[in-house]
Amino acid sequence: MTKRTTNIIHILVRLLLGGIFIYAGIIKIIDPVAFAGNIAAYQVLPYFGNYLAAAILPWLELLCGLLLVTGYRARGAAATVALLNIVFILLLASTIVRGLDIDCGCFRQGGPKTSAWTAIMRDLLLLALALFTMYQPERSSNRFR
C-alpha cells in the first residue's frame, strides 16, 4: 500500500469514528434525562452519579468527535474514545454477568433494544478504529492531506 493510500484510509477512519461520536453525543444531549435512566439501568452509580454522567459524557463524546473530524488533537481524542470504549465494554460485560437485560443507551433513546453482546461487538470495532487512529502520526500541516 502506498503512503498516500494509507493516509487516505487513516483520514476516512478518523472521519468515520468522529462522525459516530458526534452523532452519539448529540442524541444523548437532546434527552439527558432519558440517558440518565439508561445509565441508572446499569446499577453501578449512585443516583446523583447517573445524572452527573448523563451531563458530562455526551459532551465528552461530542468534543472527541469534533476533534477527530477536524484532525485537531486527533491522537488525544482517539485515546479518549478508546478509553471510553473499554469502559463501555466492561460495563456491558458486567450486565451480562449480573443477568441484567438492559439497552446500552448508546445511539438512541427508546426504540428496540440492542443486546449487550451486539453492543460489545460494536464497541470492540470502535475500539479498534480508535486504536488505529491513535497510532497514526499527526502532521503539523494540512490535517486532511
Q: Consecutive sets of 10 residues in the chain, 145 residues long: mean pLDDT of each?
A: 88 97 96 93 95 97 98 96 97 94 75 83 97 77 48
Is 142 part of any domain? no
- For residue 43, the enclosing domain spans 1-135
Is 106 part of any domain? yes
pLDDT given for residue 140 in this prediction: 46
CA gap 59, 61 in Å, rounded? 5
CA gap 35, 15 in Å, rounded? 25
Is 105 part of any domain? yes
Is 60 part of any domain? yes
How many folded domains does the chain comprise? 1
Is 141 part of any domain? no
